[in-house]
Chain A
Amino acid sequence: MKIGLGHKIAAFTSALVFLIGAGLFSVMVYQEQVIIHDLRMQETHDHTKRISAQVEDHLYNLDIRELRRVAANILQAGGIDRLMILDEEGRLLTDGSDKPALRNKVPQFPYIQNLIHEKNNMPSMAMDGMHHWTGVAVISGDDTLLGYVVLNFSQARLDANLNANLINQLIVLIPALFLGVLASFFLGRKLARPLVAVSEVAEKIGNGDWDAVIDVASQDEVGDLARSINAMALNLSQTAVSRDKLENIVEEKTKELLWHQEELEVLVNERTQKLEESEERFRGFAESSSDWFWETDENLRTSFLSDRFEAATRLNASDVLGKTRRELTAPNALQKDPEKWQRHFDDLDSRRSFRNFEYELPAAADGNVINVSVSGVPVFDEQGVFKGYRGSGEDTTERNVTEQELRQSERKFRSIVETTAEGYWLIDSTTKETIEVNESLCRMLGYREDELLGKTPMDLVDDENAKIFKNSISQISTTDHRTYDIVMMKKDGSPLPAHIEAATIHNEDGSPRASCAFVMDISERIKTQDELRKAMEDADQANQAKSEFLASMSHELRTPLNGILGFAQLLEYDPGVPLHEKQKDKTDQIIKSGNHLLELIDQVLELSKIEAGKITVSLENLSISAVLDECVPLIITMAEKRQINLITHHEDCADAVVRADHTRLKQVFLNLMSNAVKYNREGGTITIAATVVKAGTIRIAVADTGFGIAAESFDSLFQPFERLGHESSEIEGTGIGLTITRELVRLMGGEIGFDSEVGKGSTFWVDIPEAMNVSQSSQPDVRDEEDGFALTVPVGDETKTYVALYIEDNPANLMLMEQVFEMIPNLELISTHTAELGIELARTHHPDIILMDINLPGMNGIEALGELHKLKETRDIPVLAVSAAAMPHQITEGLEKGFKAYVTKPIQVETLLSTVREILDAS
């Protein structure tokens, strides 16, 4: 590559400028860095001393607010990353923040450790990684160490200042360097420009361009050289001019001739192309048409047939060419309609045009007769002499067949209409009059056909049903199909319930022409629907009766359970009369068994939910071992009574965690275990095993050594109330356990199954999905038995005595509540057994809370609540429902009526008391 002289000069001078500038800049930056660093260190040193003086009084007084204010102000002023004020032992008093994370702790930084060790009252400085530290011990006039002040700022902050200066200087230096380089460039160009010009013109002259002139005016050596070269080029140019002029004239004339030749060729090509296009176009029309084209000579003999003829007629063109139409027509065709033929021959003889003349061609090679239709015009020459016919032909065979099929289809439709049991009804869209009916419609309505024709739909209905017809008719233009039920009127005036399917028939232009309807007599269907509705109502009533029965049963069972569980809880929790270990075990069993019975009551209630598909589960992570360990003790007593040996194998799954509902899973296991006991033989064995059957699934199998189940009973095992022949045996059961169990297992995403052999026993198993991603820290929900709770803690304001009124007709429940409340020091209980007396007590004693049973003799609890709300003296007293009416709708109703809370029996003492506490605290 050639590098110009100008560029060389520019590059050299630029490099020189750049080197000098950069060198000077580096020296300046280094000096400045050193100075700034020293100044900063001195400033920090002084600053630390000032802060020390500023905080010494506050340190002496331990006035944290002032210390924090000073620290915050200093930090806010900037320049420092961290400021810590420490007490005499180095513990943080404040770092300027509202909530110092290290409050009262000695910050673990080597600098601070050293500062505390040295207790230096002159500021010391140190660098720790990228941070500068400075600190000082604050010492009072009597040489008492008050504390320390420690500052910290990062080297990055210092660097940032230096960098900012550096950038500012660079902002000045770079344009200066740029200007220097620019000046060098222009200087180089200026020096080199005359030499470059001389060089360029010399090169042109060398290439024959003798008109080139060097434009250099300088009065130096370069100028002299330029002027000599210009004189030499002028002499050479004058000699060459005349020869060039002659050559130019010859060249121009030659070009003119060639141009005219090319114009002519283009014109010829265009004309030829247009002719070819025209011919191609007409050939295309002929080939794309399904018709063919023909010509005859003046003797009416076929002289031309287009290519389509053979394909359309399957005849050879050679068999037709040279023949007249008469010769080509099958003889019997002429006889079929001689008049038509005669008219055609007359047209031909008269040289008239003809259109769509149809006739049969002789059979083709395949034996099929072909119907054709031809049209033609006579052709005359310029003198008017007839030259023959020219025209087109088409194959009409298929069209004729289609028309015939259409006629057959219409006959078939007519036959259907005449024979169908549904009424057929055709109505004119314009006049709305009946234009066609079938026999079935006449029979349905009791009219003759001639009586129905001409009637409008409105003539066949009463006023009310006329609206339906009007609505249907109004939709004719917008909807093609309409379906509706209507009551028509028979000729004798009796009603005809009918179902009508109507469709709109359109004209070719899309306008509606007629409405075609099929009418069905639906008297029988309506009767069936009425019967079905009545059956549904009966079923609803039965279901309502069942719900009422379940609610009643729930209430009756809960009332005695309230006594059992309540007193058992009091026995267990009463700190005044502690139980010894064995008593506590037995009480535990009473509570556990009672709670299980309560769960069972809920299960029976939920059977109805299962049937309605409304049961829900709450899935959580559960330890399979823990759940089994909870269940086995509940079943041991039952098993021991029948000397049944209980074996458990769940060591392999000791840590297994499943995803299930705790109560429901326990319910499933207890059901399978209790079945295994009940249907086992005396002295038998039950084996409970947990295994991993496949990845992500734990199988819990309960195997017994009982009677087994016959194969023919397998299918009915999970049916509700199916006890497989044990109905009359001594074994107790309802037959719903397995049904509920299966549904519960399915709801938890598991499966249930069994294997059984008569005489050997059965194994029931459930597969439960394993919980995913259970980490060590996320322990399964192992429910420890609670240690109890303090009954004796006062409620509300301990200095005040609260009064509670309990309205309850069941003496056992009353006694239970009295004993519960006796243990709370500042709560006094008054009670009564009827709502009426309770209202009176509330008026006279104005208690702080009322606990109300709902199912009371005479006025019930909800009515009593209404009365309490009406009375000025009692309307503000909070009322808590305590009831065995535990159905969800009963609880909802109670809360809607205005109970502050609703506690169901059997009561959980802890739940009851926390509810009472909440109400008293809130009121």
Chain B
Amino acid sequence: MQSRSFFLPQILKRAVLLLFMAMAVPMFMAAPSWAKTLTIGTISANPVDETRTFQPFANYLAKSLSKDGIDAAKVVIATDIKHMVWMLKSGEADLFIDSSVTALVVNTLSGSEFMLRRWKKKRSQYRSVIFVRADSPINTLEDLKGKIIAFEEPFSTSGYMLPALTLTRRGLKLHEVATVKSSPPAETVGYIMGYDNETQATWLDRGRVDAAAMAEKDYEEFSKTSLKPLRILYFTPDVPYHVVSHRAGLDAQLVLRIKDELKSAHETEPGKTILMDFESTAKFDDIPVTLLKAVVDFQPYLNLVIVP
């Protein structure tokens, strides 16, 4: 990629410099101009519970950033992706913490940016599996055409987004069916939401659906108590379990400071305790390039799968 530069006439250049200095001097003499409340957002249907979970962490972060002009922290809960997008765009939320694929959707729509990986429940990354009964004639993803796969729910990263995006990327077209007894068009993969892992597994067990998809860890649990032996058809790529994003236009210096504070939080005893209380978060670190790439690679297919 080529870089561009802009050249100004010498006099104009000096005038701009003087103007900048005139504005900058009082700015540096006063308190930080962005002294304010930091807002941290997430999407949840249980706002009271989520606020209770997020607030101690938010307070800790605000305290750590007190020298950077942050005097308090507020937790904001969006009801859905659209709401969150609005919050980030309007500046109602500075940071957004959620699963990586949800974050990809929100970032794509709001212009917010990936910032850090969060080791929620001490997990760094995860992946989903698409599975069938061991005696199923389905052997490839393409064999799912004309069949029905049970997903978990529309906003589940592992139970819907990851497997659905994987299927879409493979060129398969998804078609939502009303009931398990419906028949999807022959060239599409029919899908239905079970709204529950156990329902998905039961449907597959009893032949109501042809395949199901869920997080690998959940699959391992259900495969132990399955009525019929199960077989994994496909592993989706690994993606970060949880990530932190920041809104577009958030002060770059502040973003750097937030990153520094979050990345070092687990190195102190108070920080470690706060993180553990924050849904057993082991630490925050940079999102490994390969994992970030695995998420971002789904971007072209989002509009085929996600309806915000």
Contact = CB atoms under 8 A, between A and B. Distances in A.
B225 A797 contact: no
Contact of A62 (B208, B237, B290): B208
Contact of B198 (A91, A94, A797): A94
Given A91-B227, A104-B227, A62 B221 contact: no
Contacts of A68: 196, 198
Interface string A41-64: 000000000000000000001111
Contacts of A797: 237, 290
Contacts of B205: 104
Contacts of B227: 91, 104
A62 B206 contact: yes
A806 to B, nearest CB: 22
Contacts of B289: 923
Contacts of B55: none
B202 interface: yes
Please indicate which of the listed interface residues B202, B203, B205, B206 has the most CB atoms of chain A within 10 Å of its own CB: B202
B290 A923 contact: yes
Contacts of A65: 194-196, 198-199
A172 interface: no
B308 interface: no
Given A103-B225, A104-B225, A923-B290, A62 B195 contact: no
A113 to B, nearest CB: 19
B248 to A, nearest CB: 27
Nearest to A93: B202
Interface in A53-85: 61-65, 68
Contacts of B225: 103-105
Contacts of A1: none
Contacts of A250: none
Interface string B130-160: 0000000000000000000000000000000
B226 interface: yes
Given A62-B208, A922-B288, A923-B288, A99 B221 contact: yes
Contacts of A61: 180
A65 B193 CA distance: 12
Contacts of B226: 104
A62 to B, nearest CB: 5
Nearest to A800: B290
A62 B203 contact: yes
A28 B84 CA distance: 66
B224 to A, nearest CB: 9
B288 to A, nearest CB: 7
Please indicate which of the listed interface residues B180, B199, B221, B290 has the most CB atoms of chain A within 10 Å of its own CB: B199
A57 to B, nearest CB: 12
B290 to A, nearest CB: 7
A87 B198 CA distance: 14
B199 to A, nearest CB: 4
Contacts of A94: 198
A371 to B, nearest CB: 83
A827 to B, nearest CB: 16
B265 to A, nearest CB: 22
* Interface size range of chain B in the complex: 10 to 19
Contacts of A796: 290
Nearest to A796: B290
Interface string A86-130: 010001011000010001110000000000000000000000000
Nearest to B290: A923
A64 B196 contact: yes
Interface in B253-294: 288-290
Contacts of B208: 62
Nearest to A799: B237
B172 to A, nearest CB: 17
Interface in B177-204: 180, 194-196, 198-199, 202-203
Nearest to A63: B199
Contacts of B196: 63-65, 68
A922 B199 CA distance: 35
A61 B196 CA distance: 13
A62 B196 CA distance: 11
Nearest to A876: B289
Contact of B202 (A64, A105, A923): A64
Contacts of A923: 288-290
B165 to A, nearest CB: 15
B288 A64 contact: no
A801 to B, nearest CB: 14
A68 B194 CA distance: 13
A62 B288 contact: no
A103 B201 CA distance: 11
A164 to B, nearest CB: 35
A280 to B, nearest CB: 77
A356 to B, nearest CB: 81
B204 to A, nearest CB: 10
A63 B193 CA distance: 11
A64 B199 contact: yes
Contacts of A63: 195-196, 199
Interface in A287-313: none
Nearest to B206: A62
B167 to A, nearest CB: 16
A197 B132 CA distance: 102
A63 B199 CA distance: 6
A377 B227 CA distance: 125
A922 B290 CA distance: 9
A87 B290 CA distance: 45
A159 B24 CA distance: 82
A104 B226 CA distance: 7
A63 B180 CA distance: 11
B292 to A, nearest CB: 12
Nearest to B208: A62
Interface in A821-865: none
Please indicate which of the listed interface residues A87, A103, A105, A797 has the most CB atoms of chain B within 10 Å of its own CB: A103
Interface string B206-218: 1010000000000
A625 B100 CA distance: 55
Contacts of A103: 198, 225
B179 to A, nearest CB: 8
Nearest to B195: A65
A553 B221 CA distance: 54
B232 to A, nearest CB: 15
Nearest to B221: A99
Contacts of A87: 206
B260 to A, nearest CB: 20
Contacts of B206: 62, 87
B223 to A, nearest CB: 11
Contacts of A64: 194, 196, 198-199, 202
Contacts of B202: 62, 64, 93
Interface in A863-917: none
Interface in B222-257: 225-227, 237
Contacts of A91: 227
A73 to B, nearest CB: 15
A63 B179 CA distance: 12
Nearest to B200: A64
A796 B196 CA distance: 32
A87 B199 CA distance: 13
B283 to A, nearest CB: 15
B228 to A, nearest CB: 9
Given A65-B196, A68-B198, A104-B226, 16 more contacts: A61-B180, A62-B199, A62-B203, A62-B208, A64-B202, A65-B194, A65-B198, A65-B199, A68-B196, A87-B206, A91-B227, A103-B198, A104-B205, A104-B227, A797-B290, A923-B288
19 contacts: A62-B199, A62-B208, A63-B195, A63-B199, A64-B194, A64-B198, A64-B202, A65-B194, A65-B199, A68-B198, A87-B206, A103-B198, A103-B225, A104-B226, A104-B227, A797-B237, A797-B290, A923-B288, A923-B289
Interface of B: 180, 194-196, 198-199, 202-203, 205-206, 208, 221, 225-227, 237, 288-290
3 nearest A-B residue pairs (beta carbon): A65-B196, A64-B199, A103-B225
